[in-house]
């Protein structure tokens, strides 16, 4: 259905959205003058027609009233309710005979009446003008108009017709609101896709685009479905790779164990040589490397441990004791500032291994002091490990979490290992859906910050 229904395409949604938005605004603005005209203009009411007819009958009965010195007599009069009324008498050419001062509204009304081709009344802002009533005297045609001071209530939306600048501003605001809603409708799935893509890039292979976005029937929905399919394939591929690495590492232990057993038998028979010492050393190195690879594989697959709610000090107690002892042996000092009230759900063994690697790394490169601090906020627990060592070049701060990466300052195995310790730490933090960042601490030293979500 997604392929055969063209109206599900994003192109049509954008077209219809902007077209309807602009059409609605144009229609509302265009209808205001028409509504105002229909409201203000109407046929001449009988009561007002009677007022004009009475004056016309009087003039026909007394033609001398049309003389210039008598015209002012009916310039002002009274309506049927006794209120003031102003009368205008015009000739067949539309010239006002009984007044030299004629308002602009009256001139406009003359044109309206001519277009209507019948007697009408029109409500201006503060007056009502009506007419004309045609009559003849001595073979000449005349027209009679009336004007009343009248300010009857008008519908609230006519306010916009009288205030065009405000109306234009409100139209722009309404247009922006409608376009903003359309932009939100289109931007929401893009934000969901961006969030999932960033999470996938950071190692959260289980993250997927939400079902609401994937169920859309336009290109956004198709893209979400394709993204989720890609994420499934990547997760399967990476997990298979991790399992393969774990299986290979596990299989390598068998011949390595046999080699170590042969070395032990040779020493038991009294055989001793530099070559055997070298073989034993390399076997131990291989054993440590395989152990690190197995640990990295287990942490990334997250298949050996369940989450528990425990205090942070309880989880790290043994790690901190070992790190404090190791620091003392090297003439350094470990400063611990962890609130004993911090308690949250986590993977105890995995988190312990991550902090242990960070502390060992800090102890190795610190000059005198190593610090570990933690604090808990509403949504996360932050753990900071820093030292007063030489730090790292800026371009290496992200690369140190890559497996088998060793900075220039740690190239040899004695100090730098195989570059798996911080990779294991990063995998452990990602298993908690957290994040880890390394940065140089001023004035010198390295600071690693861990943020773990608590909900």
Query: Residue 431 in contact with residue 302, Cβ under 8 Å?
Result: yes
Query: Residue 360 in contact with residue 350, Cβ under 8 Å?
Result: no
- In which order are the strands placed within the sheet that holds 128-137? 41-43, 120-123, 128-137, 140-148, 84-91, 76-78
Catalytic-residue membership of 122: no
Q: What is the Cα–Cα distance from 120 to 95, expressed in whole angstroms?
A: 19
Q: Which of 195, 250, 335, 444 is catalytic?
A: 250
Q: What is the Cα–Cα distance from 188 to 224, expressed in whole angstroms?
A: 12
Q: What is the Cα–Cα distance from 109 to 34, expressed in whole angstroms?
A: 16
Q: What's the Cα-to-Cα distance from 340 to each of 311, 317, 374, rounded to whole Å?
A: 7, 11, 10
**Helix H segments across 302-410?**
312-329, 348-365
Query: Residue 391 in contact with residue 445, Cβ under 8 Å?
Result: yes
Q: Count CB atoms within 10 A of the CB of residue 26.
A: 12
- Provide, for the chain, the percentages of residues in helix, strand and coil under a 3-state DSSP scheme, each rounded to the nearest 5: 55, 20, 25
Query: Residue 152 in contact with residue 68, Cβ under 8 Å?
Result: no
Nearest Cα residue to 311 out of 354, 355, 348: 348
User: What residues act catalytically?
Assistant: 250
């Amino acid at each position: 259905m997604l392929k055969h229904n063209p109206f599900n395409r994003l192109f049509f949604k954008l077209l219809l959205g902007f077209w309807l938005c602009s059409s609605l605004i144009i229609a509302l603005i265009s209808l205001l003058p028409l509504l105002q005209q229909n409201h203000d203009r109407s046929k001449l009411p009988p009561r007002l027609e009677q007022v004009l007819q009475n004056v016309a009958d009087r003039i026909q009965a007394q033609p001398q009233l049309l003389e210039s010195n008598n015209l002012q007599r009916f310039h002002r009069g009274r309506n049927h309710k006794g209120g003031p009324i102003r009368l205008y008498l015009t000739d067949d050419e539309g010239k006002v005979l009984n007044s030299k001062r004629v308002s602009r509204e009256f001139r406009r009304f003359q044109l309206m009446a001519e277009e209507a081709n019948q007697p009408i009344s029109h409500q201006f802002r503060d007056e009502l003008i009506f007419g004309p009533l045609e009559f003849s005297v001595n073979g000449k045609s005349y027209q009679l108009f009336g004007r009343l001071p009248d300010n009857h209530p008008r519908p609230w939306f006519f306010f916009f017709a009288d205030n065009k600048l405000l109306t234009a501003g409100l139209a722009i605001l309404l247009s922006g609101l409608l376009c903003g809603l359309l932009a939100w409708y289109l931007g929401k799935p893009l934000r969901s896709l961006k969030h999932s893509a960033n999470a996938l890039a950071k190692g959260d292979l289980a993250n997927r685009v939400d079902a609401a976005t994937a169920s859309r029937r336009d290109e956004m929905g198709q893209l979400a479905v394709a993204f989720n399919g890609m994420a499934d394939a990547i997760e399967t591929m990476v997990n298979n790779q991790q399992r393969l690495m774990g299986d290979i590492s596990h299989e390598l232990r068998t011949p390595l164990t046999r080699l170590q057993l042969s070395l032990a038998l040779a020493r038991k028979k009294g055989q001793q040589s530099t070559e055997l010492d070298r073989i034993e050393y390399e076997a131990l190195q291989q054993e440590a490397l395989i152990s690190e690879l197995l640990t990295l594989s287990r942490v990334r697959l997250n298949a050996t441990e369940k989450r528990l709610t425990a205090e942070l000090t309880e989880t790290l107690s043994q790690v901190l004791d070992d790190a404090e002892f190791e620091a003392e042996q090297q003439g350094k000092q470990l400063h611990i500032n962890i609130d004993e009230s911090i308690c949250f759900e986590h993977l105890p063994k995995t988190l312990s291994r991550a902090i242990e690697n960070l502390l060992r790394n800090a102890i190795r490169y610190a000059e005198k002091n190593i610090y570990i601090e933690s604090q808990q906020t509403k949504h996360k627990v932050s753990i900071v490990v820093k030292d007063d060592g030489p730090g790292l070049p800026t371009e290496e701060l992200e690369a140190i979490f890559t497996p088998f990466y060793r900075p220039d300052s740690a190239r040899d195995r004695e100090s730098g290992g195989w570059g798996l310790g911080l990779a294991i730490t990063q995998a452990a933090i990602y298993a908690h859906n957290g994040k880890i960042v390394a940065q140089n601490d001023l004035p010198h030293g390295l600071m690693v910050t861990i943020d773990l979500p608590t909900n």
